[in-house]
Chains A and B, each alone.
Chain A
Amino acid sequence: DAKTTQPNSMESNEEEPVHLPCNHSTISGTDYIHWYRQLPSQGPEYVIHGLTSNVNNRMASLAIAEDRKSSTLILHRATLRDAAVYYCILRDNMEYGNKLVFGAGTILRVKS
């Protein structure tokens, strides 16, 4: 399973943008980059995913480096509800199934 590296924790002020980095230097051409987050006392929830191009949805944006060895999840205006553990996960498109390999993730703290 391809590996990702994320900072242990980050802190942000409410209403400000947050950039959560993820390094994946061993990514293969068929790996999708997925982000999930886990709010306190809840199961993980899907945030966004991409392959090569930058992606936007109602929750966040995903910026993928040109060489695909790193990516950044962007929360445009952090709210207290965004305080969670954020997981960056690589999913091999050539491998069967839905298995998600979670790392330690980044704990995001949001200050009011």
Chain B
Amino acid sequence: KAGVTQTPRYLIKTRGQQVTLSCSPISGHRSVSWYQQTPGQGLQFLFEYFSETQRNKGNFPGRFSGRQFSNSRSEMNVSTLELGDSALYLCASSLVPDKTDTQYFGPGTRLTVL
């Protein structure tokens, strides 16, 4: 079974631009979560989607948004990029949003904002 895939793997943008990152969950998984990882703040939860609806949101500004499609694939968008948005963005999938359900992470997208 293929794992969680994220595209692109690397991205370079300039301040003020916007970016869209994509995540394909493991086949059959319907819950997708996004995380941001930086050296200073560590791993932080961005949001979670299930059945095309955002179910949970972390403490990030409105510039960060996402969506989920009917095939469970998810995208996240960051508008008006700032230097501090440079980070590794990780996507995780699970069967359903259950506390005991294992989350499977993708390799991440490394975003650099210049």
Residues on A lying within 8 angstroms of B by beta carbon are 32, 36, 41-46, 49, 87, 91-93, 95-105
Contact = CB atoms under 8 A, between A and B. Distances in A.
Q: Chain B contact residues (Cβ within 8 angstroms of A): what range?
A: 20 to 34
Task: Tell me what chain B mostly uses at the interface: helix, strand, loop, or mixed.
Answer: strand
B104 interface: yes
Nearest to B101: A98
A105 B37 CA distance: 13
Given A98-B33, A99-B45, A44 B97 contact: no
Task: Tell me what chain A mostly uses at the interface: helix, strand, loop, or mixed.
Answer: loop
B55 interface: yes
Contacts of B44: 102
A29 to B, nearest CB: 13
Nearest to A87: B43
B45 A100 contact: yes
B43 A44 contact: yes
17 contacts: A32-B99, A36-B103, A42-B105, A43-B4, A44-B43, A44-B105, A46-B103, A92-B99, A96-B56, A96-B97, A98-B92, A98-B99, A99-B33, A99-B56, A99-B58, A100-B43, A103-B42
Q: Which residue among A95, A97, A100 has the maximum number of chain B CB atoms within 10 Å of its CB?
A: A97
